[in-house]
């Protein structure tokens, strides 16, 4: 698979420098909100989790490598807030 530059952001614009997980794996310090990093192309799940590893923010997205992709022009992945299910 090809590698592509991407940048993960939150839909509310917050969380800069928060760590995130990709496909259930912790990404090193390169994997923080707002920082470009390289990842394989393909279908991925991106998440920010709480202390109990429950997702707070999530996005599943197929990442392709567009022409001109670089650390300056990364693919943007925008996480959406996970709405907690209310129990009756």
CATH number at residue 29: 2.60.40
Which H or E run includes 79?
strand 75-81
Residue 1 or 40, more confident: 40
* pTM of the predicted structure, to 2 decimals: 0.88
Query: What are the tens digits of pLDDT across the range 21-58?
Result: 999 988 777 789 999 999 999 999 999 999 999 999 99
Number of domains composing the chain: 1
Tell me how far the alpha carbon of residue 24 is from its chain's centroid.
Answer: 11
* Beta-carbon-side half-sphere exposure of residue 25 (alpha carbons within 13 Å): 6
Domain range for residue 45? Answer: 3-81
């Amino acid at each position: 698979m090809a590698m592509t530059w991407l940048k993960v952001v939150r839909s509310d614009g917050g969380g800069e420098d928060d760590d995130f997980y990709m496909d259930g794996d912790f990404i090193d310090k390169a994997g923080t909100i707002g920082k470009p990093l390289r990842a394989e192309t393909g279908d991925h799940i991106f998440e920010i989790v709480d202390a109990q590893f429950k997702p707070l923010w999530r996005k599943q997205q197929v990442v392709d490598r567009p022409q001109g992709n670089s650390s300056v022009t990364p693919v943007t992945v925008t996480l959406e807030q996970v709405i907690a299910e209310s129990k009756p």
